[in-house]
Amino acid sequence: MSDGARGKPRRSPTPAPSPMEVASSGLVTALDSGFLRALTEPARLDLLRVLLLHGPANIGTLAGHLPQDRSVISRHLKVLEQAGIVQGDRQGRERVYALDAPGFIGTLERILGQAKALATCCCPPARPGGG
């Protein structure tokens, strides 16, 4: 087929993606997100552990619980903050960091929802009794 006036071939419309394609794309995007990448670094997990055990703290206090220099801790906090896992609040001349629980849980729930949506498209339901 061609567009009579100019002789250019007509392009067929692109078919709409299937529900499975949409779900899998969303899940892959979520799994390859800065959020999960931020959680793959052991030093950042140690940092989160300190925040969970001791509560909000500035870099100096965090450095007292970790083997890394303050500059390294600062870089890790920046990654965690950009990923929506912690939040830093300026208090005078310093920043105090804390776990961003609503943001953290919300992102985990979104990833879980995407995984469940994909499972309903691609995976057969489990049989009762596991067999």
Residue 8 lies in a domain: no
From the list 54, 91, 57, the residue with the least C-alpha distance to 74 is 57
Q: Number of folded domains in the chain?
A: 1
Q: Is 38 exposed, middle or buried (0-12, 13-18, 19+ CB in 10 A)?
A: buried
**Rounded to 5 degrees, what angle do the CA atoms 59, 83, 33 make?**
145
pLDDT in tens, 49-108: 999 999 999 999 999 999 999 999 999 999 999 999 999 999 999 999 999 999 999 999
Range of the domain at 39: 20-121
Identify the CATH number of the domain in which residue 79 sits: 1.10.10.10
The reply to whether 62 falls in a domain is: yes
Three-state DSSP class for 41?
coil
Confidence of residue 123 (pLDDT cuts 50, 70, 90): low
Residue 100 belongs to some domain of the structure: yes
- By the 8 A CB rule, do 45 and 53 touch? no
In a domain, residue 129? The reply is: no
Q: Which amino acid is at 79?
A: V
